Amino acid sequence: MNIKDKILTEIEKDKENTIGVFAQKDEYLKVFNKMNTISKDIEKFKEYPKWLFENFNYEIYKNDYNSSLNSNVNIENTLEEIPKNANIIVSINGYFIKEYTKLVSSDFIVLSIADKINKDCYGIENQFAKFYEGNENQLFILNNLLSRDGIYINISSNSKIDTPIYLLNIVDELDNNYFINSRKLINVGSNSSVNIVEIDLVYSQFDTLYSDLFLLHLEENSNANYSKIFFNPKANKSLNNKISFVNNCGYKIDKNANLVVNTITIGTDYNKNDSVAKLENANSSLNHSFFALTNNDKIVDLKSTIYHKAPNTQSNQLIKVVANDNSKMYFDGKIVIENKSENSSATQNSRAILLSNDAKVHFQPQLEIYNDDIKATHGSAIGNLEDDLLFYLQSRGIDNEIAKKLLLTAFALDVINQSAAANYLKEYAVNELAESV
């Protein structure tokens, strides 16, 4: 039985408790029924491990969050590692947890997506559907179908949030392999600024597939720095469980608004990250940096599409990868400059270092340009650590292994340092990179 049939069978066992009672859920179910099953033959998935989809053995997580409040995971210890002056917003197994959420700023509101939908069902659903129209895939439809909760944040206009907002997505000690779905909708009001850091923490000893649908909207003259970290500093590395993330990220950037997106992924067994950015109005800009460290047989599949839809828009994209062992990394990056986007500029740069002959990195840069009055460049390079640089450091009395660590750290730091995360998280990323040698 393929993944599609398994999920449909699971839904029919207890339809009301699995997908809820909203009319939109039935519509998503109809769409999913018409779709092909998930397979690597579909363009959206460059490759995935057989144990994830072809041997799909996950139950759909549908319990409410109250069960998580009795977890053996010490949430308080986790919160202590976050900077004291930060806003902390917690979700457990995809459910917003008000009891652990701590806000020190007053210029924004946080709600459960479930509560927000109860007040404005069609408004929330339409925001997701309208943005992703034309970019739907099976996992996007599944997330809308199966997610029961998530986080809604609205930052007031004319607000400067000086203290960062930390989003902690925690998977606690579950009793089985679970497919968890959650959604986030963040609106940054006009003339406002904010730093947002999102971290995933998986404590379950069972296999976990976490699907997240994320939409960030910057209104006119706003500024946001969004950092996403896919690793778990507190994870028990002796466990043999598989941790997989599937993310659909959407960024809508209005007139004179500026968004910085920084992503760091280290050690996840499978990471599928699709992002769509829309520079909707004049003078909007996006700076997107991504760093991945892959080893063993891990897979990272990154797909990015940036739309320049107005004049004087700018985008800069930097992708860096260090791949070891039998790991694989795919980057499919497309920049579309539409015909009304004169005086716009776009750059895309992707670089990879291979530490093993068996590691594979595939870059697929693409430019679609419909206006001659623009500037657009892209470049890619894949190779090994340069022998000349290693020889130079060794000639200065530096041990070969230390020299490799220094070169890898230098290679990654221009991405890692752009993160808005606390320094201890950046240091963890650097230490993991050094240990890969």
Tell whether 263 and 406 lie within a shared domain: no
Is residue 106 in a domain? yes
Which pLDDT value is given to residue 392? Answer: 58
Give the residue from 329, 226, 352, 330 showing the smallest Cα distance to 277.
Answer: 226
8-state DSSP, 303:
E
Range ranked top by mean pLDDT from 65-69, 166-170, 229-233, 400-404: 166-170
Transcribe 336-378 into DSSP letters.
EE-TT-TTEEEEEEEEEEESSTT-EEEEEEEEEE--SSEEEEE
- Which of 216, 247, 281 delimits the end of a domain? 281
395 three-state secondary structure: helix
Is residue 90 in a domain? yes
Which pLDDT value is given to residue 196? Answer: 96
Which pLDDT value is given to residue 234? Answer: 46
Is residue 294 in a domain? no
**Total domains, the chain:** 2
- Which of 213, 247, 281 delimits the end of a domain? 281
Is residue 141 in a domain? yes
Q: Can you name the residues that pair with 187 across neighbouring β-strands?
A: 154, 217
Binned at pLDDT 50, 70 and 90, residue 186 comes out as very high
Tell whether 252 and 399 lie within a shared domain: no
CA 341/CA 373 separation, integer angstroms: 8
Which pLDDT value is given to residue 413? Answer: 92
Is residue 335 in a domain? no
Q: What is the pLDDT of residues 421-435, one digit of tens each?
A: 888 888 888 888 888
Which pLDDT value is given to residue 247? Answer: 92
- Which of 245, 265, 281 delimits the end of a domain? 281
Is residue 19 in a domain? yes
Tell whether 253 and 137 lie within a shared domain: yes
Which strand (E) or helix (H) includes residue 415?
helix 400-416
Tell whether 238 and 118 lie within a shared domain: yes
* Mean of pLDDT values over 213-219: 96
Is residue 312 in a domain? no
Domain that holds residue 230: 3-281
Q: How far is CA 384 from CA 84, 172, 415, in A?
A: 41, 39, 19
Is residue 88 in a domain? yes
Q: What is the pLDDT of residues 411-420, one digit of tens each?
A: 999 999 989 8
Helices 400-416 and 387-395: crossing angle, nearest 10°?
120
